[in-house]
Amino acid sequence: MKVEIHEDRCIGAGQCVAVAGGVFTQRDSDGIVELLRADVPAGGEEDVKEAELVCPAGAISIAD
């Protein structure tokens, strides 16, 4: 599973970090999401899927 973020859509809500902090972080300067890793670690798939669902801006995409 690979994850992609769309910084131009991100509103800095931080839901992704709350759900999957091992994959997502936020820039200190503006709160925009950043990937810690594009390849989701084993066991982290469900958290990343949830992060995609709870993102209010639709800034996360997942590919298998």
pTM of the model: 0.91
Residue 64, pLDDT score: 78
- Measured distance CA(8)–CA(61) in Å, rounded: 13
Distance CA 64, CA 56 (A): 22
pLDDT of residue 18: 97
Fill in the amino acid letter for 35.
L
What is residue 38's predicted lDDT score, i.e. its pLDDT?
86
Collapsing DSSP states into helix, strand and coil, what is residue 44?
coil
Q: Which amino acid is at 3?
A: V
Domains of the chain: 2-63 (3.30.70.20)
Given a cut of 50, the residues of the chain with pLDDT beneath it are none
d(C-alpha 62, C-alpha 64), whole Å? 7
